[in-house]
């Protein structure tokens, strides 16, 4: 995944069912708008409980609840806490990641916008974004044909590509979500591990770019 030009590429490693990513996607969207023409943004999806097949245990729900409250306190984003009444929820994030991979292949310019919509659907509206029908309706709001989406979503090729992406993300060391890397002509460097504010992210980008150009 080379750079191919003098413009650096910010690699945002995320997951649509990661609470801190719900908060951080807004930061990345603002950054992209402010740095338009100076910085490319690439979105990759990481393995957060992908392929989980057993319901959440109470201690896992307790940990999630703490994270949700912390994100809400820091970002003021809405959360639907009725989620925690579901006794049988299996926290499998692979379908939502695969749906976003489909979007990135079909309409790459929309990837961040659909990611934001999926975050809101899950956290604010309490929708089940593991469900292919729900995912198809979300992407259709952005002009993507539900039939085209579902054909790609259900293909063996996209499932394999999703596994490969999880592997790549793991190989570059993105074991926390969100994670941010900067790809320059000097290589790839991790600049954030977890949520940070926009001004701090910009400072880290500028520092890496200064070193790359010195």
Q: What is the pLDDT of residues 124-174, one digit of tens each?
A: 999 999 999 999 999 999 999 999 999 999 999 999 999 999 999 999 999
- Domain count within the chain: 1
Mean pLDDT in the chain?
A: 94
Is residue 1 included in any domain, yes or no? Answer: no
In a domain, residue 155? The reply is: yes
| Model confidence pLDDT, tens digit, residues 180-208 | 999 998 899 999 999 999 999 999 999 99
Q: What is the four-CA torsion angle of 41, 104, 178, 92, rounded to 10 degrees?
A: 180
- Provide the pLDDT for residue 5: 52
The per-residue pLDDT for 212 is 74
Domain that holds residue 173: 9-213
Residue 2, domain member (yes or no): no
Whether this model's pTM surpasses 0.85: yes
Q: Peptide bond preceding 178: is omega within 30 degrees of 0, i.e. cis?
A: yes
Beta-ladder partners of 192: 180
Q: How far apart are the first and last CA of the chain?
A: 24
Q: Is residue 4 part of a domain?
A: no
What is the per-residue pLDDT for 169?
Answer: 95
Residue 153 to residue 47: CA distance in whole angstroms: 17
Is residue 114 assigned to a domain? Answer: yes
- What CATH number does the domain containing 45 carry? 3.40.30.10
Q: Which helix (H) or strand (E) holds 35?
A: none
Considering only residues 57 and 211, tell me which one the structure prediction assigns the higher pLDDT.
Answer: 57
Q: Report if residue 191 sits inside a domain.
A: yes
Q: What is the pLDDT of residues 89-100, one digit of tens each?
A: 999 999 999 999
Confidence of residue 214 (pLDDT cuts 50, 70, 90): low
């Amino acid at each position: 995944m080379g750079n191919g030009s003098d413009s650096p590429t910010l690699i945002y490693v995320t997951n649509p069912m990661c609470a801190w990513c719900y908060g951080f996607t807004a930061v990345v969207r603002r950054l992209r708008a402010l740095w338009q023409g100076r910085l490319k943004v690439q979105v990759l999806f990481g393995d957060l409980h992908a392929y989980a097949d057993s319901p959440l245990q109470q201690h896992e729900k307790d940990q999630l609840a703490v994270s949700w409250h912390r994100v809400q306190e820091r970002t003021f984003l809405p959360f639907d806490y009725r989620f925690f009444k579901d006794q049988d929820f299996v926290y499998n994030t692979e379908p939502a990641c695969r749906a976003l991979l489909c979007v990135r292949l079909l309409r790459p310019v929309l990837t961040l916008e659909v990611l934001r919509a999926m975050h809101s659907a899950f956290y604010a509206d309490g929708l089940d974004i593991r469900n292919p029908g729900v995912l198809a309706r979300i992407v259709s709001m952005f002009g993507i044909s539900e039939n085209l989406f579902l054909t790609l979503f259900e293909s063996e090729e996209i499932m394999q590509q999703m596994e490969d992406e999880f592997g790549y993300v793991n190989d570059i060391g993105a074991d926390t979500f969100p994670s941010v890397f900067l790809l320059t002509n000097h290589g790839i460097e991790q600049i954030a591990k977890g949520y940070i504010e926009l001004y701090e992210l910009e400072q880290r980008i500028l520092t890496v770019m200064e070193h790359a150009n010195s």
